[in-house]
Amino acid sequence: MTNRGGRPKLHGIDEYFRPASEEGFTLNRVVCKLCSKTMAKHTSKQLRHLHTQCTAYRQLHEVIPSRQSLINTKLDSVSKASKDALDRQAAVAVFTSGKPYSLYEEPETLKLFQMLNSAYKPPDRNRVASFLDPVYLDYQQRVKALLDDAPHLNVIFDASDDISSNRIINISIEIPSSVAFYWTTIDTKDHDHTALTTLSLIKPSLLEIFGHDFSRLNAICTDTCSTMRKLHREMKALPEFSHCLYILCDSHGLQLLIKDIVESKRWMPIFGKVTFLIAFFNKAKLQLSRLRIHQQECYRQRKAFITAAITRWGTQLAAVQSVFDNKDALRAFACDPVILNGMKQVISYINDLEFWANLEMLFKVLQPIGHAQANSERDRAGLGEVIPRWLSIQASWDALEEAGQDPLINYQELKALRKQRFDVQTDDIHYMAFALDPATTDPKHHLLTTDIVRRAHNFLEDNINAEEYGNIFREFCQFRAREGNLFGPGSRIYRAASEGTPHHQHVLDSWRYLHSMNVSLAALAKRVLGALANSVPSERSFSSINFLHNKIRNRLTVTSTNKLTFIYMNSRVLRRLETAQETPWRIPSGQSWETADVKLLLELEDDFQDCIFVHAGTDAETESVY
């Protein structure tokens, strides 16, 4: 038989045996090293012993694999269709998470994929980039389908610039009392951001959403600058936009009230010292490190300083609070012998007891505005909450004045500043929204003055055509007076919201129900109360754009950034809708009205049914049911 090479079959058997005596193999007896069995020296018998009789040998070879493993499995493989599907999903994961295109080129990431499936090679940056357009179109179709199903839409837009100094305008679309979608970013290039130019720039995007029928365009919300105010007037004069409601962002208005206060003669020196201290420690890293030692001693943790920026909502209050919260650490810092030799101005501010007293008063003044502003920034913030929010600020100051703890605060000056800014930032539509709240029809309601009702009437005159005005005005008067079949004192529309239901949502749902009964005023009320009172969707869009288009990715074009932002923001909104984790409002049981069963919806309808005929038999004047 021809010797083909390689190891013989019985190679390595002797390593498991030793001679039976010290005389070597002369006696032809061996002992198994694993089980100590003595047997004749015979290679085949020794092999048979190991395989059939020696338990220790079998256990050893179950744990230790052979030195040369056999190829007993077929090689993994991925079909082209599976590879394309995996690559697309990998690209979607990059787009929706805001990660760089080169994510899968990192060695450790590649190693992870090899461990998961050795046959799959993740896409490189060019392959990921090739999926941007199809994924964007897919998300755009999904968003457009939802927008097309909505009877009315609110439009929010704002102008700014990105990290590459491109001048841009972004547009967001809100479904009333539901979610807001990012729509697009427009590169304005060398165009002026005047009112008419802005209109010409955004109109093509509006045509994408509404076509040439703008009747579904309910309201337009912008910031409070003079350009946007003029834009509102220009659009109102155009026939296709004459029906729209035009709203100034309430959060911007509250921010301007803060600006009025901190720049007033009384509070400017105090706020100036706050900004000086924060700027000093932001620049002097050694002194900041020394201060942090005192923070650890005083608070057992570090406390950061917040830099104020007039365009960043809430940063003025946060700056004041951050300095006030570090009072003990700052005073300990000022007593440190290492510090006493220099920085006289910083030490003088810290050791000034009057400064700390004034700082505490400034914090008390700004705190109600900060709370109101935070509330104004939430999703689905309605117009009916604007006037109560501004009045709550004055109520907080009145309570502070009545307590008499801070006599050095000039409350009359604060009241004048609030009223001046309030008059500038609110329009007739805010008064109308406030007057549509059934709670304000109570004769004991002290917040509704004659001026508020007059402004609501002005809104009706400016926004209702002559044919409908008489009927709507009559219904409005009946609603305010609690008269007639629909609006009698016993009508359920005047009842308070059930526990767990937001008041503004209860009011809107009440008018929605009346609208189903063809009440003319209800159609208008539904539009007014369904309008958005802030431009937060645009502000969030700018934040997302700056997150995606950062210094590391500064070569991104405006077009690519727009598509990335669309996927990044709207994927989250769509996910919320699909998983029902966030809904317009929840009933007390925790169930969403959007997913309520038929029985529950009938119960909700019955709650309002009495408002039709509750006083039909007792009213002296019989009126038709609308």
DSSP 497: P
Whether 381 maps to a domain, the answer reads: yes
Same structural domain, 329 and 417: yes
**pLDDT tens per residue across span 277-320:** 999 999 989 989 989 999 999 999 999 999 888 778 888 999 99
How do strand 153-161 and strand 167-174 relate by DSSP bridges?
antiparallel
**pLDDT tens per residue across span 441-452:** 877 666 667 777
Neighbours of 482 (CB within 10 A): 18
Whether 483 maps to a domain, the answer reads: no
DSSP-assigned beta bridge partners for residue 275: none
Q: What's residue 588's pLDDT? A: 37
Neighbours of 63 (CB within 10 A): 6
User: Alpha-carbon distance 444 to 350, whole Å?
Assistant: 50
Two structure tokens written together for 164? 């590459």
Same structural domain, 126 and 152: no
pLDDT level of residue 608 (50, 70, 90 thresholds): very low
pLDDT level of residue 606 (50, 70, 90 thresholds): very low
Give SS3 for 617: coil
Same structural domain, 211 and 99: no
Which comes out higher in pLDDT, residue 385 or 71?
385
Report CA-CA distances (Å) from 430 to 74, 387, 426: 72, 7, 6
Whether 466 maps to a domain, the answer reads: no
Whether 142 maps to a domain, the answer reads: yes
DSSP-assigned beta bridge partners for residue 170: 158, 185
Mean pLDDT, residues 464-491 taken together: 85
Residue found under tokens 């007033």: 264
Which of 426, 454, 485 terminates a domain? The answer is 426
Whether 104 maps to a domain, the answer reads: yes
User: Alpha-carbon distance 276 to 330, whole Å?
Assistant: 14
Neighbours of 206 (CB within 10 A): 21
DSSP-assigned beta bridge partners for residue 220: 155, 246
Give SS3 for 282: helix
Which comes out higher in pLDDT, residue 60 or 148?
148
pLDDT over 90, % of the chain: 48
Q: Where are the beta strands (DSSP E) in 107-260?
A: 153-161, 167-174, 180-187, 217-222, 245-248
DSSP readout, 12-81?
TGGGGEEESBTTBGGG-EEEETTT--EEE--HHHHHHHHHHT-HHHHHHHHHSPPSS----SPPP---HH
pTM of the full structure: 0.77
Q: What's residue 125's pLDDT? A: 92
Same structural domain, 269 and 397: yes
pLDDT level of residue 595 (50, 70, 90 thresholds): very low
Mean pLDDT, residues 125-143 taken together: 95
Whether 252 contacts 223, CB under 8 Å: yes
How high is the mean pLDDT of the chain?
84
Mean pLDDT, residues 171-190 taken together: 93
pLDDT at 253 over 60: yes
User: Alpha-carbon distance 82 to 84, whole Å?
Assistant: 5
User: Which one-letter amino acid corresponds to residue 450?
Assistant: T
pLDDT at 231 over 50: yes
Same structural domain, 238 and 382: no
Q: What is the domain count for the chain?
A: 4
Whether 469 maps to a domain, the answer reads: no
Same structural domain, 121 and 142: no
User: Alpha-carbon distance 231 to 114, whole Å?
Assistant: 57
Beta-carbon contacts of 351 under 8 Å, excluding residues fewer than 6 positions away, are: 331, 334
Whether 604 maps to a domain, the answer reads: no
Name the residue range of residue 345's domain. 254-426
Write the burial class of residue 22 (CB in 10 Å: 0-12 exposed, 13-18 middle, 19+ buried). exposed
pLDDT at 490 over 80: no
Same structural domain, 268 and 224: no
Same structural domain, 309 and 234: no
Of 176, 168, 199, 71, whose CA–CA distance to 585 is shortest? 176
Two structure tokens written together for 317? 């209050």
Sheet holding 38-40, edge to edge: 17-19, 29-32, 38-40
Whether 417 contacts 393, CB under 8 Å: no
Torsion angle of the four alpha carbons 83, 84, 90, 92, in this order, in degrees rounded to the nearest 10: -160
Most confident range (mean pLDDT) of 35-49, 253-267, 335-349 is 253-267
Q: What's residue 23's pLDDT? A: 57
Whether 111 contacts 542, CB under 8 Å: no
pLDDT at 581 over 60: no
Two structure tokens written together for 338? 């290492």
DSSP 498: P
Is the backbone of residue 404 left (phi > 0), alpha (psi -120 to 50) or beta? left
* First-to-final CA distance of the chain: 109
DSSP-assigned beta bridge partners for residue 181: 173
User: Which one-letter amino acid corresponds to residue 123?
Assistant: P
Helices (H), 98-194: 107-116, 125-129, 132-149
Helices (H), 426-500: 428-435, 450-463, 466-481
Residue 567: give its domain's CATH number.
3.30.420.10
Same structural domain, 372 and 240: no
Q: What's residue 354's pLDDT? A: 92
Write the burial class of residue 280 (CB in 10 Å: 0-12 exposed, 13-18 middle, 19+ buried). middle
User: Alpha-carbon distance 176 to 518, whole Å?
Assistant: 20
Same structural domain, 222 and 330: no
pLDDT level of residue 35 (50, 70, 90 thresholds): confident
H-helix or E-strand spanning residue 168: strand 167-174
pLDDT at 580 over 70: no
Whether 315 maps to a domain, the answer reads: yes
Same structural domain, 304 and 387: yes
DSSP 586: B
User: Alpha-carbon distance 492 to 330, whole Å?
Assistant: 58
Two structure tokens written together for 467? 């044919």
Angle, helix 285-299 to helix 268-283, in steps of 10 degrees: 100
Whether 427 contacts 232, CB under 8 Å: no
pLDDT level of residue 623 (50, 70, 90 thresholds): very low
pLDDT level of residue 516 (50, 70, 90 thresholds): confident
Same structural domain, 149 and 240: yes
